[in-house]
Amino acid sequence: MKELIVSGASPVLMPREDPAGKIVFMLLFGALILVCFVALITFLAAVLRGQTGRARNAVQQGPLKTLVLGAVGWLGFGATAAWLYSRAFVERLLETEIRSGFLIATVVAALVPLVLSLLGAAGLFAYLGDRIASLRSRDTSELRRLLTGCAVAMFAAFFPFVGWFVILPLLVATAFGAGFRSVLL
């Protein structure tokens, strides 16, 4: 690495002209994101034990129902956020340039599914960890089952193409459905 630059989007140091350095940096950055996500899920599961249990039960009682509810919810919230954010809608509806109220509504419409997905993800990964632990003959702790479920799901989601376009959307939709069912139903 000849010299480092600070990226304009975030204060992250990246190699300037070394392609191998950029690849190594991106791999390390991806590993760091993965570790941070597993830590976040573990934190949520520890702090919100009841919520995690309700989300795990929601997935266990009806995984397909949870998946469909999550997919419909994500599509609904995504369409709502896109509709609120569209410039043509705001200008036509209000005939003005004021967009702050719609910006706040858009942020809320975008954050609700993210928060519900995080709440449901702890339960989903606990459920996956239980299923993985049942494949083994040894009894494992609840923390180890959660970490195993989270790590296996995230590594599967990072698998090229199949993970990106099949497993990750299924995990996100199921997590949203589990979070929605555990919070609102």
Cβ neighbours of 33 (radius 10 Å): 12
Q: How much is the average pLDDT of 123-146?
A: 90
**pLDDT tens per residue, range 65-115:** 999 999 999 999 888 878 777 765 666 666 665 556 666 777 788 888 999
pLDDT attached to residue 101: 66
> Does the reported pTM lie above 0.85?
no
Question: Under 8 Å CB-to-CB from 48, ≥6 apart: which residues?
Answer: 119, 122
In the chain, what are the domain boundaries? 50-184
pLDDT band at 39 (very low <50, low <70, confident <90, very high): very high
